[in-house]
Amino acid sequence: MLRNVDLSEISDGKLYDANDMVKADCKGCEGCSACCRGMGKSIVLDPLDVHRLTTGLGVPFEALLSQHIELNVVDGLILPNLKMTESADACPFLNGQGRCSIHAYRPGICRLFPLGRFYENDSFRYFLQVHECPKPSKAKIKVYKWLDTDDIRTYEQFISDWHYFLKALQERIAGMEDQTQIRSICMYVLQQFYLAPCEDFYEAFHGRLDEAKRYFEM
């Protein structure tokens, strides 16, 4: 999801790398769950998120669509996002104690919060959102530990590759008027990166990304 914002208004004015210390640790959250409610369609899922969810829950993508996620247009492309519950406007995986029931395989946006990503020069760095999390007295923690993701460098390369691939497609779609052609691009992305199962995620992703770049002549 592309956003044009002034970092000085939403952050502490600093940019961080994975090995930097940042004041983001809310010490286990303790069931606050503020960031799990009222998020609308903003928890957009990338292919790794869906792979983690389908593997962790033992269900196919189509089963998630029936209850936990939905499809929406994001900057011109159709992408999945977590579907807030109608009764509580909360994440469908939030349990009765205000805790995450899928914490081990939670989406990347959830792992990241209250950090954000600032993309430039075909890469990105992290920034700390200072107005989003109401938890007081956060502790310092290294960014990579906060993300709680194996093989952080491989993960960051995936995040960067996926972002710039989508950005290129979104820019291409922005100049199109043929809705059939736009829909064809959207369905290709869903089929190749979300619906097709895989065992070794990163190997499969990079193979599919290379194929997609050839297909779209990037």
Residue 213, pLDDT score: 97
Q: Which of 60-64, 130-134, 137-141, 188-192 has the lowest mean pLDDT?
A: 130-134
CA distance linking residue 116 with residue 154, whole number of Å: 18
Q: Which tens digits make up the pLDDT trace of 130-181?
A: 877 777 778 899 999 999 999 999 999 999 999 999 999 999 999 899 999 9
Answer yes or no: are the C-beta atoms of 54 and 197 closer than 8 Å: yes
pTM for this entry = 0.93
pLDDT, residue 27, reads 73
Q: Residue 106 and residue 97: Cα distance in Å, rounded? A: 17
Residue 17 and residue 110: Cα distance in Å, rounded? 18
Q: How many CB atoms lie within 10 A of CB 121?
A: 6
Residue that wins the pLDDT comparison between 116 and 134:
116
pLDDT for the residue numbered 35: 85
Q: For residue range 196-207, what is the model confidence (pLDDT) as tens digits?
A: 989 999 999 999
**Is the pLDDT confidence value at 56 over 90?**
yes
Q: Tell me, what's the pLDDT at 16?
A: 96
**Tell me, what's the pLDDT at 2?**
57
> Residue 142, exposed/middle/buried by CB under 10 A (0-12, 13-18, 19+)?
middle
- Name the residue among 104, 112, 103, 94 with its Cα closest to residue 46: 112
